[in-house]
Amino acid sequence: MKKSLSGKIFAGLFAGLIIGTAIQYLFNGVTLMDTYVLGLAEGAGGMFVSLIKLLVVPLVYVSIVCGIVELKDITAFGRLGGKTFALYIINTIIAITAALTIGMIIQPGAGANLAGTVTEAVQLTTTETPDIFSLIVNIVPSNPVQAFANGDMLQIIFMAILTGLAIQALDTRGGPAIKTFKMANEIMMKLVGLVMSLAPFGVFALMIQLGATLDANTLMSVAGYVALVVSMLVFWIFFFYPMMVGLTTGIKPSAFLRHTREQILFSLSTASSNATIPVTMRTLTDKIGVSKSVAGFGVPLGATMNMSGVSIYIALATLFVANAFGQPINSADIFTLGLTILLLSIGAGGVPGGGVVMVGVLLHQLGLPPEGLAIVAAVDRINDMFCTSSNVVGDTAVNTIVAKSENEIGSVEADAEPQSERVTVS
């Protein structure tokens, strides 16, 4: 049976750690190992990190343009679109605020001392995060080419939003541009898939480097980081969303969880918000009784911009890398980090591995070592599974709340009737 990508990544992770640890404790000082094996691992690992960085700028620009173009239906749906859009944004802001608050309290990665443990071939220069006034002023680029060349993400996001709005203003004449950007987005998604198919080899090489210098504190820090991310996402899936739905719609949390069970399992297995769209639609219309008009508009929009799970993931991953490499984020920089995460989450690709690319964007924006992607990518599959489930369950929660406020949900209580007897409301 053909191994899944996640299985190959795990195999590469453990094999690399074993080989790296053996080099550190059994073959220390052996020229063959120190010069050739570690040198080869350094080169291969650096190439993998560079491949991820290669995708960052075009992926963010194209994804956000496509997302803005898709949002033009909000004006047609009026109040319904406004509610859906606002709740998605509020949901993401709450998730970011919670993640950054917990992250600043727990400080994941503190004491790991990873500085100098991996290649510095692609090291970025640490930059000062601007104050809020400078941030607002500098978000408008004077030279778009320079913004792309420097990888200034806030300026690139600003240009992407302007481009999307300009295409919308063209009305039917913008059709060719929309098709072009959608095709470009598909190409970028395919490139992300191709790069992620190389992840087992890249992780293997990077883990050899880390294994050659790892100590017990580092291992515990990585385990603690993964546990923190998964714990927050599990809380969001099994407590936060059911409680919010219960408070606003009257549907019992236990009933909401029962109806989203299939959706949770499917999203855990695929780690893709886009691939889970059909299951999310079925959950809303067939099990909860949300009208097809509400679900048909809200679910595709949510797969594009409702990325609360991704926001939690990349916020904690960034704090982990910053602390592990001895460059902790100051409390004064948290607002800038949160704003950047909010803007990036809209452009996060709904495909497996999209979170890794977004972490790479944040590391670049904050001047943090991109080599931190070695650890983030190595344990990405574990985190990505749960952040995808958080995303899609959030889509279901928001659309259920909107449908209830618009009287577009079945009158049968979701907690009182078996699944087989549910009536679809259209």
254 or 332, which is more confident: 254
Q: In the 8-state DSSP scheme, what is residue 413?
A: -
* 352: alpha, beta or left? (left if phi > 0; alpha if psi -120 to 50): beta
153 or 127, which is more confident: 153
pLDDT, residue 348, reads: 55
Q: Is the pLDDT reported for residue 367 higher than 50?
A: yes
Q: Is the pLDDT reported for residue 284 higher than 80?
A: yes
Burial category of 35 from C-beta neighbours within 10 Å (exposed 0-12, middle 13-18, buried 19 and up): exposed
**What single-letter amino acid sits at 117?**
T
Structure confidence by residue, pLDDT tens digits, 335-364? 888 888 887 776 555 555 567 777 877 787
Beta partners for 409?
290
pLDDT, residue 420, reads: 39
Structure confidence by residue, pLDDT tens digits, 407-421? 877 754 444 444 433
Percent of the chain with pLDDT over 70: 73
User: Which of 40-49, 52-61, 115-124, 146-155 shows the lowest per-residue confidence on average (mean pLDDT)?
Assistant: 115-124
For residues 217 and 333, give the distance between their C-alpha atoms in angstroms, rounded to a whole number.
Answer: 27
Q: Give the pLDDT mean for 79-107.
A: 87
Average per-residue pLDDT for the chain:
76
Specify the long-range contacts of residues 175-183, CB closer than 8 Å, at least 24 apart. Answer: 178/69, 181/62, 181/65, 181/66, 181/69, 182/66, 182/69
Domain architecture of the chain: domains with CATH: 5-406 (1.10.3860)
pLDDT, residue 31, reads: 67
pLDDT, residue 275, reads: 62
Structure confidence by residue, pLDDT tens digits, 374-392? 778 777 777 887 888 898 8
Q: In the 8-state DSSP scheme, what is residue 374?
A: H
Beta partners for 290?
409
Structure confidence by residue, pLDDT tens digits, 208-232? 776 776 666 666 777 888 899 999 9
pLDDT, residue 216, reads: 60
pLDDT, residue 5, reads: 62
48 CB contacts (<8 Å, ≥6 apart)? Answer: 198, 199, 201, 202, 203, 205, 206
Q: Give the pLDDT mean for 266-279.
A: 69
Q: Is the pLDDT reported for residue 322 higher than 60?
A: yes
Structure confidence by residue, pLDDT tens digits, 19-42? 887 877 777 666 677 667 778 887
Q: How far apart are the first and last CA of the chain?
A: 42
Q: Is the pLDDT reported for residue 315 higher than 70?
A: yes
Place 126 in a pLDDT band, splitting at 50, 70 and 90: very low
Question: How big is the chain, counted in residues?
Answer: 426
Burial category of 78 from C-beta neighbours within 10 Å (exposed 0-12, middle 13-18, buried 19 and up): exposed
Structure confidence by residue, pLDDT tens digits, 169-182? 887 788 888 889 88
pLDDT, residue 3, reads: 57
Structure confidence by residue, pLDDT tens digits, 245-270? 999 988 999 999 989 887 887 777 55
